[in-house]
Structure 1
Amino acid sequence: MSSSIRHLGLKITSAEWREEIYDSAPYDEAAAAYGPLTAPADFDDIYASTLPLPAGGSESVEFLTRSRIFEHIALTTQLAGPIPFTG
């Protein structure tokens, strides 16, 4: 079990893996341009599109801004409907 967690931790810290799985390049660029969200006060902050993606927003770094995750999810679900969870 601990080796699986360690392996997952190594994968998550790999920029190539994050880009392949999550298409994280714009968010990595935003963190480089605007600063990382690593302070304890940043625990519920994210870099999100100024206009949510369902409303036609872009994931380009020029359109990413720091926002609160809960407000961003609430606005996105109002535009696109509830988040489908599978179980």
Structure 2
Amino acid sequence: MTIKGAQFVFEVIKGSTLKTVTFSGTVTLSGSGVARNIIAYKKNTYTIPYETVSDSSTGEWSLDVTGGSNDEFLIICIGDAGENSVVFDHVVE
């Protein structure tokens, strides 16, 4: 299982030091898109996860999270039974 084409897009929320951060990518298995749970945690809290499910036919996914310029995120693609999960750690702006 791989996550390809991850993109990181940042937009400033006016009047705030926080930003909306969009994480997106594609989950594939043997070259075909698959549905998998995607979870993102802000590393300084680990308490409020953001989550979505990738599209079952294309594998595409997108998450909008809120964070400051120094926040790090842990992004996990949860594998099905018999698959390893894929983890991206220390993801920053």
TM superposition score normalised by structure 1: 0.25
